[in-house]
Structure 1
Amino acid sequence: MIRSLEIGKRALLASQRGLDVTSNNIANVNTPGYARQAISLRPGESIPVGGTMLGMGVLVTNIRQFRDQLIERDVRTYTATQSYYQQSQTIFQRIEAALGEPGDQTIQTALQQFFDAASELASNPSRMANRQLFVARAADLASQFNRVSSAIADLRSSTADRTSQDIERVNQLLAKLAGINQQINATLDSSGQPAPSLVDQQHQALEELSAYLDISVTRTATGTVNVSSGGMMLVSLDSSLKLRVEKNLDSSSGATTLRITAQKQDGTSVGTLSPGSGELAALIEHYNVTLNPAAPSSQFSVARELDRLASAFADRVNTIAAGGYGLSDSGPTPPGRPIFTAAGGGPLSAGTIQLNPALASDPGLVPTASAPGEPGNNAVMSAIAALASDSSFLDTLTPEGYYGSITAQLADRGAGASDRLSAAKATLNQINQERQSLSGVNLDEEATNLITYQRAFEAAARVVTVTSDMLSTIVNLGR
Structure 2
Amino acid sequence: MQMSLGAALNIGRSALTASQLGIQVAGNNMANVASPHYTRGRLELAPIAGSSGSGLYMGRGVQVQGLTREVNEAVVQRLRTGISDASGARAKLDVYGAVEARLNELSGDDLSSQLTAFFNSWSERANLVQSSAVVIQQGQQLAGYIQGLRKSLVDQRLQVDAELGAMVERADVLLQQVAALNAEIVSAEEGRFTAGPLRDQRDAVLAELSELIDISTIEQSGGGVDVMVGSTPVVLGGMSRGITLERESVGGRVEMWVSAKNDGTRLPVTSGRVGGLLETRRDAVNGTLDRLDEISTQLIYQVNRVTAEAAGEPGLTRASGTVPMAAGDRVLALSDPQNASVGGMAVPPTNGSFLVQVRDTSTGGVRTVRVDVDMNGIDANGNRSFADDTSAEDIRVSIGAIDGLSATFDASGRLVIESEPGIEFAFAEDSSGVLAAMGVNAFFTGTDARDISVRQDLVDNPTLLKVGRSDASGLLVENGGALAVAKIQDLRLEALGGDTIRGRWSSTVQEVANRTTTAKVQAESTSIVQQSLQAQRDGLSGVSLDEETLNLMMFQRQFQGASRLIAVTDELMQTLINLV
Deviation string 1:274-318 (CA, Å, 9 cap, x unpaired) is 2132222222233345434xxxxxxxx211111111001110111
What is the letter of the counterpart of residue 516 of structure 2? G
Distance in 1, matches of 2:492 and 2:166, equals 46
What is the letter of the counterpart of residue 226 of structure 1? D
Which residue of the partner structure matches residue 297 of structure 1? none
CA contact (8 A) 2:315 2:425 kept: no
Distance in 1, matches of 2:563 and 2:177, equals 44
- 1:291 pairs with 262, 265, 285, which one? 285
Alignment map for 1:308-347 (pairs within 5 Å):
308-325=294-311, 329-330=315-316, 331-334=423-426, 336-342=440-446
Which residue of the partner structure matches residue 136 of structure 2? 135
CA contact (8 A) 2:111 2:145 kept: yes
Distance in 2, matches of 1:383 and 1:271, equals 54
- 1:108 pairs with 89, 106, 112, which one? 112
Q: CA deviation at 1:195?
A: 1.7
CA contact (8 A) 1:258 1:288 kept: no
**Bigger helix share:** 1
Distance in 2, matches of 1:431 and 1:102, equals 40
Which residue of the partner structure matches residue 274 of structure 2? 280
Distance in 1, matches of 2:26 and 2:133, equals 82
Deviation string 1:11-53 (CA, Å, 9 cap, x unpaired) is 1111111111111111111112112222111111212222322
Which residue of the partner structure matches residue 153 of structure 1? 154
- 1:29 pairs with 8, 27, 33, which one? 33
Q: CA deviation at 1:368?
A: 0.7
Q: CA deviation at 1:220?
A: 2.4
Distance in 1, matches of 2:133 and 2:193, equals 82
Deviation string 1:67-112 (CA, Å, 9 cap, x unpaired) is 2212111111111111222111211112112222342221111001
Which residue of the partner structure matches residue 457 of structure 1? 559
Which residue of the partner structure matches residue 243 of structure 1? 243
* Structure 2 segments unaligned to the other structure (5+ residues): 317-422, 428-439
CA contact (8 A) 2:67 2:194 kept: no
Distance in 1, matches of 2:166 and 2:475, equals 63
Which residue of the partner structure matches residue 470 of structure 1? 572
Distance in 1, matches of 2:577 and 2:313, equals 132
Q: 1:339 to 1:105 in 2, by over 3 A?
A: same
Distance in 2, matches of 1:133 and 1:194, equals 80
Q: CA deviation at 1:413?
A: 2.0
Q: Secondary structure at the match of 2:35?
A: coil
Alignment map for 1:389-468 (pairs within 5 Å):
389-392=490-493, 394-468=496-570
What is the letter of the counterpart of residue 340 of structure 1? F
- 1:92 pairs with 92, 96, 100, which one? 96
Distance in 1, matches of 2:88 and 2:425, equals 59
1:163 aligns with 2:164: yes
Deviation string 1:136-180 (CA, Å, 9 cap, x unpaired) is 211111112111211222222222221211111111111111111
Rg larger for: 2
Distance in 1, matches of 2:569 and 2:131, equals 113
CA contact (8 A) 2:470 2:477 kept: no
CA contact (8 A) 1:257 1:287 kept: no
CA contact (8 A) 1:47 1:55 kept: yes
Q: Secondary structure at the match of 1:104?
A: coil
1:363 aligns with 2:363: no
CA contact (8 A) 1:325 1:370 kept: yes
Which residue of the partner structure matches residue 487 of structure 2? 386
TM-score by length of 2: 0.75
How many residues align? The count is: 455
Q: 1:363 to 1:328 in 2, by over 3 A?
A: farther
Distance in 2, matches of 1:327 and 1:461, equals 117
Q: Percent identity?
A: 26
TM-score by length of 1: 0.90
1:79 aligns with 2:80: no
Q: Secondary structure at the match of 1:105?
A: coil
Q: 1:17 to 1:414 in 2, by over 3 A?
A: same
